[in-house]
Amino acid sequence: MRRKGFTLIEVLVVIAIIAILAAFLFPVFAKAKARSKQTACLSNMKQIGTAFALYMSDTDDLFPNGLDAVDKFQPMIWESEPEFFAQIPDMPLLSDLLQPYLKNREVFHSPADYGLKVLDDRPWLPLVAQPSVYGKFGSSYFYRTELTFRRIYHSSLPQPSESNMMETASGAWHAGAPLMDESIQPEEWQKRIMTYRYNLLYTDFHARSVSFAQQNEAWAVPIQ
């Protein structure tokens, strides 16, 4: 008996079905992968929060005397605060300072980190880091260095569960959105940044995902 093969129509139908299934499944897989990266990033931040706590237990409750890539490589943002500005050249990066309490530099590497061109909230201020912020500066996260400059004691914080101390360098990473760049127009900047999501580490050491507006609210909380 002669075997009957598939007809061209049958093959095309199977291909079409596979294509339809792929169209449904690929976005689901992409979202699951993005959520996995966000969870891993939050885990990193919680570990960094523990390192903060250990460090401060050795320094009479003071926040670490370190800074992040923005402060180190764009120090002009502190020119209006001459006392703080003068300290920057002698301060180490926070990711280096906390290493004895972590012993793993990868904790400062967000798996979602795909670089930076400019600061999200100040697109006129370049901070080029490709292919990743971690690869160039040793940390995917920015620190609220004001806590150090003002010599804040952790126990003196008025609202530790609401004030921030660290965040992902770009809100684009966890939003699946394009990075900001110097050529962006105000209308597009406003539209884009309202979709951004940040992982935020609060001064009571809990971490969670927040919107740009929620991040701003945390920045507005008094620290003294």
* pTM for the structure as a whole: 0.84
Distant-in-sequence, close-in-space partners of 141: CB < 8 Å, separation ≥ 6 = 44, 45, 48, 68, 108, 110, 166, 167, 168, 169, 201
For 136-182, what is each residue's pLDDT tens digit?
Answer: 999 999 999 999 999 999 999 999 999 999 999 999 999 989 999 99
The domain spans of the chain are 9-220
Please give the sequence-ordered ranges of beta strands (E in DSSP) within the chain, or none if there are none. 116-118, 126-129, 141-143, 164-168, 197-202, 207-211
pLDDT digits (tens, 9 = 90+) for 64-115: 999 999 999 999 999 999 999 999 999 999 999 999 999 899 999 999 999 9
